[in-house]
Amino acid sequence: MVTKDTSGKYDKYVISSDEMQVSVITLSAAVTDILFKGKHCALGFDSVEDYDDNPGYVGLVVGRYANRIGGAKFTLEGKEYKLVPNEGKNQLHGGPDSWVKRVWQAEVLSDNVVRFSVFAPDGENGFPGNMNASVTYTVTGSTLRLDFEGETDAPTVFAPTTHMYFNPKGGSVLESSMKINASSWLQVDDELIPTGVLMPCEGNFDFSSLRRIAKDYDHCFVLDSQDACTAECGDVKISLKTDLPAMQFYTGTHLGEPFGANGGFAIEPEFYPDSPNHPEWPSPVLRPGEKFRCFAEYIFE
């Protein structure tokens, strides 16, 4: 069932199955709540107006390029594109006032499916190409599926993600446990820009079997399979499946009020950060005539 609430600044859609209720607002197609087993499993602000000041990108669909692009520039087909930086000299999450500040158009496709669409104009924050992008939310049983789609009228780079945070248990997520199907992670410099080196998942980065998180992470794990990870947070298990090549594991170190540091963890399916500057990595390039399609499924048990 899908219900629509137009009482706030942004329309809110609640997509319900017999096991789960997912709330999404039209600002940035942001997930504001996931109610499962009587627990609010995803972080969300109490009022939709709070999403206007959301430096942690809580719940937002992030793009045109999620994560960082070093030096806020890249070269594509011999042309250098200078982007608008918003984290020192680098660009994070598509730059300042990217589509996360935009009201997306919602379309109810069935009783458990809602699509949110946005137009990203050529030159926005320096990216080439007029883009039509969308995320389609489907709630089936205790699975939330996101289908990302995109088209462009000029060669560009496109790498969306969802920036939901989870913490059904409450307290610090460093007490929760995690298993990640990844043999390597991307080494980064002190600005979190990849050095190009893939490190083996050993020691603190060995999540090959379920274990306590214990410390802070804000790292990209290179996935070995579509079964990206499983987190255990109290009596709720959250698994991510995706056909995207990597996952940012972020333990919410910088989360502000009302959540607080480590008040939630994000498991963001993504292309590698800075991949436009690394032709040796999976390519985020999208060309006219191509249809971008990727998915992420969050399975709750």
Contact positions vs ligand G6D (CB under 6 A)? 56-57, 192, 218, 248, 250, 254
Angle at 32 between CA 168 and CA 224, to 5 degrees: 65
Catalytic site residue 163? yes
Number of H helices, E strands in the chain: 0, 28
Q: Cβ closer to ligand G6D: 155 or 256?
A: 256
- Considering the complex, state which of residue 147 and residue 218 has its C-beta at the smaller distance from ligand G6D: 218
**Nearest to ligand G6D of 115, 219 (CB atom):** 219
Which letter does DSSP use for residue 84 in this model? P
Of these residues, 163, 219, 232, 297, which one is catalytic? 163
Which residues are bridge partners to 285 per DSSP?
A: 157
DSSP letter for 83, please: P
> What is the DSSP-derived secondary structure letter of residue 101?
G
**Is residue 219 flagged as an active site residue?**
no
Q: Which residues are CB-contacts of 227 (< 8 A; sequence separation ≥ 6)? A: 181, 239, 241
Which CB atom, from 141 or from 258, has the smaller least distance to ligand G6D?
258
- CB neighbour list of residue 7: distance below 8 Å, 6 or more residues apart: none
DSSP secondary-structure letter at 42? B
Cβ pair 99, 135 in contact under 8 A:
no
Query: Least distance from C-beta 107 to ligand G6D, angstroms?
Result: 28
Q: Which residue shows structure tokens 């594109």?
A: 81
Q: How many Å separate Cα 140 from the centre of its chain? A: 20
45 in Cβ contact with 52 (< 8 Å): no
Q: Which is nearer to ligand G6D, 48 or 267 (CB)?
A: 267
Q: How far is the CB of 22 from ligand G6D (least distance, A)?
A: 21
Measured CA to CA, the distance from residue 296 to residue 144 in angstroms comes to 8
Q: Which residues are catalytic?
A: 163, 268
